Amino acid sequence: MKKNNIINDWLTENKDPEIEKLVSRNLAIANKVHKILKERNLSDSDFAKILGKRPSEVSKWLSGTHNLTQKSIIKMELALGVQLIYIEQVHKYVYLGKIEGSMKEEINKYTGKKYKKTMPAYAS
């Protein structure tokens, strides 16, 4: 793609690692969305209609050069029914009360669920 060459040339000249990582992620997201649209026989215009956006705006998003917001990424994820960015979910519990019984009993009171050994009891 000619546009990618322009981006690569600019990144080579400016050597900004933050911008380089941002552009790399945006291109990866755009490429993933293009692949999904192709698999589903959807055009960029079809995708814009699904999102309730103007085709020009979606075209910017999918160029890989637009600074995507989390909101726009989530909007695309919901519309496609996929997760575009994978982040490990870490669940931490902070207990702000007095423990009168066992930790297991207190967790069960707090969460309303049976304690599982795989779930961390608490995080400091």
CATH of the domain at 33: 1.10.260.40
Amino acid at 118: T
Confidence of residue 105 (pLDDT cuts 50, 70, 90): confident
Amino acid at 75: K
Q: What is the DSSP letter of 118?
A: T
Q: Are residues 14 and 69 in the same domain?
A: yes
Q: Are residues 59 and 108 in the same domain?
A: no
Q: Are residues 61 and 122 in the same domain?
A: no
Domain span at 119: 89-124
- pLDDT at 6 > cutoff 90: no
Do 55 and 45 touch, CB atoms closer than 8 A? yes
Do 44 and 59 touch, CB atoms closer than 8 A? yes
Q: Global pTM?
A: 0.60
Q: Are residues 8 and 34 in the same domain?
A: yes
* Beta carbons within 10 angstroms of residue 22's beta carbon: 13
Q: Are residues 65 and 7 in the same domain?
A: yes
- pLDDT at 23 > cutoff 70: yes
